[in-house]
Amino acid sequence: MIRIQRFKLCACLYLALMMSVPACAQFVRLDKYPAIPIEYEAAFVDQVSGYVSGVVSSMYGQYFGQLSPDGNIYGYGSFFTSRDGEVYGLYRNGDLAFGIKKGNDVAKVGTNDHYTAYDLHTGYPIYIMKDNQKYAPSSDMKVKNRFMVLKYANGDQYVGESTDNKRDGFGLYFYSNGNFYYGHYKDGKQQGYGALFKQADNTVTIQYWDGEEDGD
């Protein structure tokens, strides 16, 4: 009788714990965010490569980045807002298409609908958001992946995703001269498309990297 009661108690506790976790979170293995096919990214870059860059102030905050011929926010940009904090990435018609939203406590990497949220106090992933549903990160992701701040002897600083304490994923590289770079990293090096922001003249230069070292 005592064993049966204990089993029932354990079963009730287990069910309660299951209900406290988002449905299917512990069973679904998801990508951190959508993978952007290189062909799509190249087409986007071709479209915005000739766009001018500048600084625009609005009721939402200050934008620094590319602008379409009709003056709309379009291309690589950074937005400093009171609502979302610092927002870096690719913009289309005024909305963030893919990038990093960095607030005081949480950093979100991905699209508005599919992203990974990181705790900025610990660096560890908290959850993956997809289709308005929160999912728990996989066990290996919890061990390997973090959102880190890495400081270097020359005064430069990296802020972004990492794997095994190496720059890996999407991140920001802040140079000691005031410039900063947004883009993708693999095994500690810049990879694929990204953009260099020069604050002295408010210009944005799109770059493509094939495993090369950082440059400013």
| E strands, 28-132, in order | 52-58, 61-67, 73-81, 85-92, 95-102, 106-110, 114-119, 125-130
Q: What is the chain's Cα-based Rg? A: 20
Is residue 177 in some structural domain? yes
Say how many domains are in the chain: 1
* pLDDT at residue 1, rounded to an integer: 38
Is residue 16 in some structural domain? no
Is residue 168 in some structural domain? yes
Domain that holds residue 195: 27-210
Is residue 66 in some structural domain? yes
* pLDDT at residue 146, rounded to an integer: 98
pLDDT surpassing 50 at residue 205: yes
Is residue 34 in some structural domain? yes
Is residue 179 in some structural domain? yes
Is residue 79 in some structural domain? yes
Digit-coded pLDDT (tens) for 63-85: 999 999 999 999 999 999 988 89
Digit-coded pLDDT (tens) for 164-188: 999 999 999 999 999 999 999 999 9
Is residue 9 in some structural domain? no
